[in-house]
Amino acid sequence: MAKQRRFIPFTSLLLLLILILSACGGQQPSGTQPTGGNGMIANLDAAGFGGGDNPQVNYNPFSPNALINGPSYLYEPLMVENTYSCQVQPWLATNYKWQDPETLIFTLRDGVKWSDGQPFGSDDVVFTMNMMQKYPALDTNGIMSSLSTITKLGTNQVVLKFKVPSVPIFERILNQAIVSKHTWEKVSNPVTFTDPTPVVTGPFTVQSFNQEELVLQRNPNYWQADNVKVEHITFHKTPPNQVEELKLAQGAYDWNAMFVPSVQQTYVDRDPKHNHYWFPAGGEISLGMNLTKAPFNDVAFRHAMAYAINRQEISQKAEFSYVQPASQTGLSVPGQANFIPSDIPNMGIFPFDQQKALDILTQAGYTKNASGKIQGKDGKPIKITFLVQNGWTDWIQASQVIQSNLNALGFTVDVQTPAPDIIESRRKAADYDMLFSVHGGSCNMYENYNYLNSRVDPSVNYIHFKNPAVDKLLDDLQQALTSDQQKTAVAQLAEYSYQNFPDVPLWYGANWFEFSTKRAVGWPDATNPYAKPGDSLLIITHLRQSPG
């Protein structure tokens, strides 16, 4: 059976919670039962840690083989971002300012200590960045190609000077873990260093590890320890996927992040009071048309496509009704709706209206022949080849809905399913009619819209789009220093996308998230989207003991 393609999988750990009250805040070994409580959560059991099939002790946040990657429960970034609404929140730094497009200043938080009691400060930030410059393999976020220098300014500020305007890589900087100078300056090779006893600023430190279990314990020196109510996190080696699905269905997990068919029946209905899920929007899966040839290079034709396709039917038949119709603006809504100009209705989401589509085509000079087939402006019936990756079953099912919709309108659509690498080579060569393209979904607005950049290669410019005016809008966004300036630039790009249909967004990929309120409350959801499922630092500082 072909494998279901799952969109925007949660890149953090597949978490479960077995949450127990702690005895007077004391730390209990994994699996023990406390006898009393003071509002603390004794243990959070989790499935999955890094390190591959043969995991070894490795807490180096720069290492691809780390048991816990990047900024998270151990090492922290300067600031964190609610990646649902794209709001930046102070963390190790309390403030930032772009002095100009090449100069970024962070103000650091006073009173932060490393887990060994040593003070955190500007020397640690400068050391981390300089170490990454010296050892390019550590630069997993792609910052150093732009960074020129980093220096201290006074006692609590650091100044990053870039070689070129670098506002668009701000989110990458935010995702950079900071390590301690007094520990790492003694390391001869930080690339191969496994960091066996990590000294961290994060909410947890390492208690123990074997190849089946990793245990983290609450960091008593954490700068906001009062907001962390979990005493232990125990990560277990992830079993096969079918076993994971069974364990979720049986109620073993209190926090998970996985694709499950029929989640309502297999999970929620087993405990409707406590079991919940929330699949917030990720990137857009769009109808990408070859803009180098007719009729796809006609704005009116693409406008008609926005009305011609039944997005709800795609959700129901191809995506288990888990996903929502996508906005023509190129933004993920409702989380990013505050970037959308007020004159755009319904957050830029087009309804299914085939009569409206036909009216647009007719007004643009397209006609129907005696057989009811839509003809191009050259008088020939329009035949469309739709390329979809072989084995990507949900995309194939979605393409069949599109095929049915467009055939009913009067087109002739041929769905073909070659291997993914063949589609990629044909896409780059502009040897196609229609295919699916994916973009957006992040808080880096420049990268979200960079697929419209005429000056980048086809690996980024999926649809061979060319428009100097849009290139100028991207340049304006690249130079935007404040959130207001960024919103102005993004609004213009959103307006352009809504009016000109460079491609036609259809649905959003899902961020998987299942959670139980039996033992813990404070989870993000659609009514309180203070974080996306992957924003682990925000989530862990919001969890509280369940009242029952």
Q: What is the token pair recorded at 376?
A: 């191009």
- Reported as a single tens digit per residue, the pLDDT across 376-393 is 999 999 999 999 999 999
Contact 475, 294 (CB under 8 A): no
Q: 50-54, 91-95, 164-168, 261-265: which has the minimum mean pLDDT? A: 50-54
> Mean pLDDT, to the nearest integer, of 93-105?
96
Q: What confidence category does residue 256 fall into, taking pLDDT thresholds of 50, 70 and 90?
A: confident
The better pLDDT of the pair 308, 254 is held by 308
| Range with top average pLDDT, 118-127, 257-266, 456-465 | 118-127
Name the CATH topology of 75-199. Dipeptide-binding Protein; domain 1 (3.90.76)
**Rounded Cα distance, 476 and 360, in Å:** 33
- Reported as a single tens digit per residue, the pLDDT across 464-474 is 999 999 999 99
Report the residue count for the chain.
548
How many other β-carbons are positioned within 10 Å of the β-carbon of residue 167?
22
Res. 1: pLDDT tops 60: no
Per residue, the 3-state secondary structure of 91-114, as one string, reads CCEEEEEEEECCEEEEEECCCCEC
User: In this structure, which CATH number among 3.60.40.10, 3.40.190.10, 3.10.129.10, 2.60.40.2890 belongs to the domain 1-69+202-280+512-548?
Assistant: 3.40.190.10
- The fraction of the chain above a pLDDT of 90, given in percent, is 77
**Rounded Cα distance, 318 and 394, in Å:** 5
Domain 282-510 has CATH 3.10.105.10: yes
- Reported as a single tens digit per residue, the pLDDT across 20-79 is 222 223 333 233 333 234 577 777 666 678 888 888 999 999 999 999 987 889 999 999
Q: What confidence category does residue 103 fall into, taking pLDDT thresholds of 50, 70 and 90?
A: very high
- The fraction of the chain above a pLDDT of 70, given in percent, is 92
Looking at residue 442, its pLDDT comes to: 93
In degrees, rounded to 5, the angle at the alpha carbon of residue 42 between the alpha carbons of residues 41 and 44 is 80
Looking at residue 47, its pLDDT comes to: 61
The amino acid occupying position 112 is V
Point out which residues pair with 462 in neighbouring strands.
Answer: none
Average confidence score pLDDT of the chain: 89
Looking at residue 17, its pLDDT comes to: 36
Q: What confidence category does residue 255 fall into, taking pLDDT thresholds of 50, 70 and 90?
A: confident
Res. 316: pLDDT tops 50: yes
Dihedral sign of CA atoms 421, 424, 429, 430 in order: positive
Closest CA to 210 of 74, 56, 61: 56
Per residue, the 3-state secondary structure of 129-176, as one string, reads HHHHHHCHHHCCCCCCCCEEEEEEECCCEEEEEECCCCHHHHHHHHCC
Instruction: Please give the torsion angle defined by the CA atoms of residues 506, 509, 515 and 521, in that order, rounded to the nearest 10 degrees.
Output: -80
Looking at residue 457, its pLDDT comes to: 84
> Mean pLDDT, to the nearest integer, of 134-142?
95
Give residues with Cβ within 8 angstroms of 335, minimum separation 6: 84, 85, 86, 280, 281, 529
Domain boundaries, the chain: 1-69+202-280+512-548, 75-199, 282-510
Q: What are phi and psi of 411, to 5 degrees?
A: -90, 170
Looking at residue 37, its pLDDT comes to: 46
**Rounded Cα distance, 349 and 335, in Å:** 14
Q: CA 345 → CA 79, 134, 311, 349, 497, distances in Å?
A: 34, 50, 17, 8, 14
Res. 211: pLDDT tops 60: yes
| Beta-carbon-side half-sphere exposure of residue 263 (alpha carbons within 13 Å) | 19
Q: What confidence category does residue 518 fall into, taking pLDDT thresholds of 50, 70 and 90?
A: confident
Burial 247-280 (b: 16+ CB within 10 A, else e): bbbeebbbbbbbbbeebeebbeeeeeebbbbbbb
- Reported as a single tens digit per residue, the pLDDT across 176-185 is 999 999 999 9
Looking at residue 38, its pLDDT comes to: 57
**Rounded Cα distance, 462 and 126, in Å:** 38
3-state secondary structure of 544: strand
